[in-house]
Amino acid sequence: MKIAVASDHAGFEYKERLKELLKELGHEVVDFGCFSPDSSDYPDFAYPAAKAVGEGECERGIFICGTGIGVSIVANKVKGVRAANCCSVEEAKLSRQHNNANVLTFGARLISFELAKEIVKVFLETEFEGGRHERRVEKIHKLTGL
């Protein structure tokens, strides 16, 4: 799977470490930045990464900032993106099963790296259930135009 990754300075270390995990799991990683721990602005990286997911260049995205909220807000402004800010494995699983989330966001200041790894694995392994959830996901895009 081709995965877009993005972070700001607060998420830089996690992003770099997760890139290695993703490669070990057999995924192709496209890094949209940031590229150092120096202070940076999350929209500069989250927006182009989200566009890559929304336009189908990448199948999924993993975006990290201090809380995960900023990158989630940016990602959800992009047509075709359904970003879920997850702090637990269960949230990641349900975001895929029920919402067909294609971007995972989380906060490096809020969860441990070990938990982040588990969340990422579940997010990538879990399939969308479809069924009754399909019409709800379709409705998101119909009502918002995104």
Residues in binding site for D-ribulose 5-phosphate: 8-9, 66-70, 99, 109, 132, 136
Annotated binding site: 8-9, 66-70, 99, 109, 132, 136
**Amino acid letter for position 41:** D
Is residue 98 flagged as an active site residue?
A: yes
Catalytic residue among 86, 98, 133, 141: 98
Catalytic residue among 34, 58, 65, 86: 65
Distance of CA 140 to the CA centre of its chain: 18
Is residue 133 flagged as an active site residue?
A: no
- Which residues are registered as beta bridge partners of 63? 6, 105
> Angle between the 113-125 and 12-24 helix axes, to the nearest 10 degrees?
50
Other beta carbons less than 10 A from residue 63's beta carbon: 30
Distance CA 30, CA 26 (A): 13
Q: Which residues are catalytic?
A: 65, 98
